[in-house]
Structure 1
């Protein structure tokens, strides 16, 4: 019998990607599916909206290139969003097929909060994608939430449902500054240090992967890219006065990085 213990990759997770076209700009499409690919295979890609009007024109231009299936939903009553109901019904139908490991819900609308919670109750992983204006309840209802601002390099595009005021059109609206979102936020160093202290060993060391996992459990929207770093390890390395990083041991996938809080020492 062979004693071969070579690393065997795990089967890719099958994901259903459901997009609320009324609350997601088309310019995120490239970054969106690159991000989804990190978590699994997009077995289903559907987008919901009223395709009879001109407001979704930019989405129409990219549907074929990314093999996204448009689902027509007429606005039966003015002021009521029928798109949400269609997406939720489809999500439940897909859930009961038992063919999926997770869902990607693309919207900044809090109406999907209960849907995200319901999918998680069934043991599925829920990835949320929305703008920074997304209400906190929806963000917290997901296992992982990714702000779509970090998925694009261009200035923010208002969602189809947004009303553009004359001030916004002229670029003089003080409440809307697209360039502000390009500036990295201040890294939550104290929060990261507390997570490290809570799960570290007697010497203060803990595997960096475990730190990242615990951070995501506490803050589903945590992402190093919000603070100008590609990975958590890059963020840690950028604060040598606060954190100490070392390589220890090795696994089939590479060396293990460990970190500790210098201030606790």
Structure 2
């Protein structure tokens, strides 16, 4: 597990259902989305819901075939009523009650899935949400982790030609980092970076260092003037742990 990856015991073994609301998601994000999901577990179920007789979903068809995603046909029986949402929710509940999964990935920018996310979490399963930055906050908050798809499509180069961007400071970011680090800190004021990541996920499901222009949490913390990032030996000969220290904490 990467040193700045959110701590999720056994996350590489999670069996996940990927349920896509094709009416409220874009086909261009599918490849990057599935690559992101692979970080959390295995996409055992892959389904996309929509009226596939409609020309509006033509862009999805080749993408679904290439990535082995099963299209689920749902006709729009009445104008103004979203039958796709109902079909996805019914299937999600069937999968939940079958008891063969560890979590769900709900792909939509629609707040109609807020209660579904909450219901799945009530059964102890993890919920990952994926949507655009316009996604209503109630749906974001209902997920354990929410990833904005815009962060998945930004071009990443192996050898950057320039330094990383200057950190865009804001009060919300400062409050989140302060709370996450101080909560995880030991008596010496040092906090394990992985625990800091876990705290951030609990405090703000949509927290993502990429939203501030940094690929990894470690890079974001190193750029922040209020924190010191370092490493220390574990004593067992394994890879040293990365820690963060809040310079303004007085410890």
Query: CA shift at 1:185, angstroms?
Result: 5.7
| Conserved? CA contact 1:185–1:226, under 8 Å | no
C-alpha spacing 1:247/1:125, structure 2 compared with 1 (3 Å): same
Match of 1:213 among 195, 198, 201: 198
Q: Which residue of 2 aligns with 1:95?
A: 96
Tell which structure's C-alpha radius of gyration is larger. 1
Q: Which residue of 2 aligns with 1:49?
A: 50
C-alpha spacing 1:32/1:202, structure 2 compared with 1 (3 Å): same
Q: Which residue of 2 aligns with 1:192?
A: 177
Cα RMSD after superposing both structures: 2.0
Instruction: Name the structure, 1 or 2, with higher relative contact order (CA <8 Å, separation 6+).
Output: 2
Q: Which residue of 2 aligns with 1:22?
A: 23
Query: CA shift at 1:61, angstroms?
Result: 1.9
Aligned residue pair count: 228
Query: CA shift at 1:203, angstroms?
Result: 2.3
1:182-261 aligned within 5 A: 186=169, 188-239=173-224, 241-250=225-234, 254-261=239-246
Query: CA shift at 1:151, angstroms?
Result: 1.4
Q: Which residue of 1 aligns with 2:140?
A: 139
1:56-205 aligned within 5 A: 56-153=57-154, 186=169, 188-205=173-190
C-alpha spacing 1:253/1:83, structure 2 compared with 1 (3 Å): farther
Residues 84-137 of structure 1: CA distance to partner in whole angstroms, max 9, x if unpaired? 000000001111111100000000000000000010011100000001010111
Distance in 1, matches of 2:17 and 2:64, equals 16
Query: CA shift at 1:191, angstroms?
Result: 2.5
In structure 1, runs of 5+ residues without a counterpart are 1-8, 155-182
| Conserved? CA contact 1:20–1:49, under 8 Å | yes
Distance in 2, matches of 1:37 and 1:186, equals 31
Residues 150-173 of structure 1: CA distance to partner in whole angstroms, max 9, x if unpaired? 11249xxxxxxxxxxxxxxxxxxx
Distance in 1, matches of 2:41 and 2:56, equals 31
| Conserved? CA contact 1:13–1:102, under 8 Å | yes
Query: CA shift at 1:249, angstroms?
Result: 2.5
Runs of 4+ in 1 over 3 A off after TM superposition: 183-187, 250-253
Distance in 2, matches of 1:253 and 1:238, equals 27
Residues 185-225 of structure 1: CA distance to partner in whole angstroms, max 9, x if unpaired? 64613430232223322221111111111111010000001
Q: TM-score, normalised by structure 2?
A: 0.86
